[in-house]
Amino acid sequence: MVCRHNDELEALVKEAKKVTDKGEVASYIPALAKADKHDLSVAIYYSNNICLSAGDVEKTFTLQSISKVLSLALVLMEHGKDKVFSYVGQEPTGDPFNSIIKLETVNPSKPLNPMINAGALVVTSLIRGKTVKERLDYLLSFIRRLTNNQEITYCREVAQSEYSTSMINRAMCYYMKQYGIFEDDVEAVMDLYTKQCAIEMNSLDLAKIGSVFALNGRQPETGEQIIPKDVARICKTFMVTCGMYNASGEFAIKVGIPAKSGVSGGIMGLSPYDFGIGIFGPALDDKGNSIAGVKLLEIMSEMYRLSIF
């Protein structure tokens, strides 16, 4: 569908772009290092299927950690919350997303939450299927329903780039395997996880997914209740408490909406019962969040009183 350009939104994007020089792209993942740090786009998808945009909303990017919300929703639907949360906790850490410290010192048998890498790897290992391809196809089918876009796929270049450089994630997997957290082959989990993170879309697609969570799991275009309401609520809660890495508390105060970021520069946000937001701005702050994307949401939250608190 066509997303209508909005001049007011464009002015806010122009203002937020002023901070891009203070950020850097994710150079530690070679394929992501090619991004233009000055890019910034936003799409807002309303519950009545009206869409407003600013910037180049057709430019695609990979989900990275935003995919953690989607894999969590899928395994909660498949296995139920009791089983899922027997493998992974529900508390924020205050540590960087790739930290292994609390995995070693707090509870060696259970990552603290599904939004940090250790917890997300466990969640990904719970996706059903016998092969990596079967499990990835299952996840992609779910995401295509959320976006109502059958063209959604993953970027092979980014997946391979991450697979060949994700040594800390491998270390976490082997550490957790030692404690029996999952029985899967570590390389199979890494293969699936890096392809999951490399799932690619544009700001409009991301805003549509945000709108599904805003509507408690209902896809506004098709009317399908894709995600059960209780699962959508759990996912939104994690987005508030853990969604912006170890800047989640500050973000809750300054912006005050459920949101999830990724190191590609994507941010998925939502205003409950109203709209979803998809942002792409690859210049990152020191916490790994889109520096201009966060600034844009701060401006929007203050101007439109978006905070849920």
- Which is catalytic among the residues 45, 154, 163, 245? 245
Does the annotation count 245 as an active-site position? yes
Residue 175 is assigned to a ligand binding site: no
pTM of the model: 0.95
To the query of whether residue 68 is one of the catalytic residues in this protein, the response is yes
Residues 206/44, Cβ–Cβ less than 8 Å? no
Predicted local confidence at residue 183, as pLDDT: 80
Q: Which of 37, 68, 102, 295 is catalytic?
A: 68
Q: How far apart are CA 56 and CA 166, in angstroms?
A: 30
Per residue in 231-277, pLDDT (tens digit) is 999 999 999 999 999 899 999 999 999 999 999 999 999 999 999 99
Q: Could you tell me whether strands 41-46 and 275-280 are parallel, antiparallel, or unpaired per DSSP bridges?
A: antiparallel
Hey, what domains does the chain have and what are their CATH numbers?
A: 4-61+202-303 (3.40.710.10), 65-197 (1.10.1500.10)
Catalytic (active site) residue 84: no
Other beta carbons within 10 Å of 8: 10
Which parts of the chain fold into alpha helices (H)?
7-16, 67-79, 81-87, 101-105, 117-125, 132-147, 156-165, 167-178, 186-197, 203-214, 229-242, 248-254, 291-304
User: Average pLDDT, stretch 135-157?
Assistant: 98
Reported as a single tens digit per residue, the pLDDT across 208-229 is 999 999 999 999 999 999 999 9
Q: pLDDT (tens digit, 9 = 90+) per residue, 149-194?
A: 999 999 999 999 999 999 999 998 998 888 888 888 999 999 999 9
11-15: long-range contacts at Cβ-Cβ below 8 A with a sequence spacing of 24 or more? Answer: 12/54, 12/296, 12/299, 12/300, 12/303, 13/40, 13/41, 13/42, 13/54, 13/55, 13/296, 15/295, 15/299
164: annotated active-site residue: no
